Amino acid sequence: MTYHPKSDFISVMMERGYLADCTDYQGLDEALMTPGQSAYIGFDATATSLHVGSLIQIMMLRWFQKTGHKPITLMGGGTTKVGDPSFRADERPLLTDDQIDSNIAGIKKVFAAYIDYDTGAENSAMMLNNAEWLDDLNYLTFLRDIGRHFSVNRMLSFESVKSRLDREQSLSFLEFNYMILQAYDFLELNRRYGCVLQMGGSDQWGNIVNGIDLTRRVLDHEIYGLTSPLLTTSDGKKMGKSQNGAIWLNSDMLSPYEFWQFWRNTTDADVGRFLKLYTELPVDECNRLGALEGSEVNAAKVILANEVTALLHGRAAAEAAEATAREVFEKGGVGDDLPTLSLSSADLGDGISIVQLIVKSGLAKSGKDAKRLIAENGAKIDDKPLTDAGLMIDAAALASPIKLSAGKKRHALVQLDG
């Protein structure tokens, strides 16, 4: 793209690799020359924590604030009741109001680490919940005032819907309403707060365009949409998943050490790109670190892990994770921060199999996986090869904690309570 932006925000988005598409680069760029503009990203409450896949959007809101504007974090208390069908093969399970409220309470914890709310400054952020205007909509009034602006033909042409229908997978009428409700969110945010921009992943393009069209038709206001690329790692895997499942952002669902390890294990080819997207290091420094090769790239991975972890969990947690990793990997010792499985005497009984311990400690998903790990010489106990899948661990063996390892990079402690 040859467009040369004037606003700080668009400059950052382009330079650091956040931009996939925009409805009007020049119009948005000029609008953002005036400080204190508002933009939003919506987050549906489908779990009690967001995972790493949402971190690019959180960083976009952070940069929006750092460049002098007002980010709006929109909790999807209303839209979660419907479920976004975009690029999904099946309908999301319906959650109760209590489950949604509980999930929102969990998700909110993360944002305070990245965004400043209620500071009274011109760029003070807001956190809103779309249940505020969606819960009490009158169905007939909504159909007449809002529904008449939507063409079903056009809605069916959006890739997120079309791909589902092309595969002959059912799309319920409930889900089909989702894009109308998301469009209505943009209209309401523009009407109430003067919000001029919706951002999201590139899978949200159709939903964002609908909101822009609706707001122009109803209010005759000029607003914009901007999307980020849907990130995959260099080996083609979806960002945010690991061998053990989702990389959660809440510390009660994934320890800071395990979060740090995820970034430390980044593929060489992804280091420079991830430094630009997930840290605030200068772009030149990101490029320099990303270009390192051989053993030197490992130092860049530690910097990546430290910077990303410090933003989310604080600098002290990042330093503690690095210290633990150094102790585990370089000295073969046991770090204080290692994921720990604590067993009671009742759990232990007369003994527990090593296969069960490997599964319980999160180093394998199933007994079958654990046995395969042992058979392929990938398991260690206290840094010595573990070859006996029938080994039983009793209270005497746990007189002091034992360290289990899966491969070179994944470790856990097992200890007896009391």
Structure-model confidence comparison of residues 310 and 333, the more confident one: 310
How many angstroms separate the CA atoms of 387 and 391, rounded?
A: 9
Is the pLDDT score of 10 beyond 60?
A: yes
Is the pLDDT score of 319 beyond 80?
A: yes
pTM of the model: 0.80
- List, in order of start, the domains of the chain with CATH numbers: 8-228 (3.40.50.620), 255-331 (1.10.240.10), 340-416 (3.10.290.10)
Task: Please give the structure tokens belonging to residue 243.
Answer: 């061998």
Q: Residue 1: its pLDDT value, please?
A: 53
| Portion of the chain with pLDDT greater than 70, in percent | 94
How many angstroms separate the CA atoms of 234 and 271, rounded?
A: 10
**CA 203, 255, 13 angle in degrees (round to 5)?**
35
99 is in an annotated binding site: no
3-state secondary structure of 237: coil
Using 50, 70 and 90 to split pLDDT, how confident is the model at 329? low
Is the pLDDT score of 32 beyond 80?
A: yes
40 is in an annotated binding site: yes
DSSP 151-213: -HHHHHHSHHHHHHHHTT----HHHHTHHHHHHHHHHHHHHHH---EEEEEGGGHHHHHHHHH
How many angstroms separate the CA atoms of 239 and 384, rounded?
A: 33
Q: What is the average per-residue pLDDT within 102-107?
A: 96
Q: What is the average per-residue pLDDT within 190-199?
A: 98
| 147-161 tens-digit pLDDT | 999 999 988 888 778
| Range in 128-137, 260-269, 392-401 with the lowest mean pLDDT | 392-401
Q: Residue 243: its pLDDT value, please?
A: 52
Task: Please give the structure tokens belonging to residue 10.
Answer: 């668009």
204 is in an annotated binding site: no
241 is in an annotated binding site: yes
How many angstroms separate the CA atoms of 384 and 262, rounded?
A: 24
Q: Residue 332: its pLDDT value, please?
A: 53
Of the candidates 124, 62, 114, the one whose C-alpha atom is nearest the C-alpha of residue 311 is: 114
Q: Residue 401: its pLDDT value, please?
A: 74
One-letter amino acid for residue 265 of the chain? N
Q: Residue 339: its pLDDT value, please?
A: 74
Pairing of strands 402-406, 410-416: antiparallel
Task: Please give the structure tokens belonging to residue 11.
Answer: 């400059």
One-letter amino acid for residue 124 of the chain? S
Q: Residue 49: its pLDDT value, please?
A: 94
Q: Residue 99: its pLDDT value, please?
A: 95
Separation of first and last alpha carbons in the chain: 62
Q: Residue 276: its pLDDT value, please?
A: 98
Torsion of CA 239, 242, 248, 252, to 10 degrees: -170
How many angstroms separate the CA atoms of 118 and 121, rounded?
A: 8
| 206-222 tens-digit pLDDT | 899 999 999 999 999 99
| Range in 188-192, 198-202, 227-231, 285-289 with the lowest mean pLDDT | 227-231
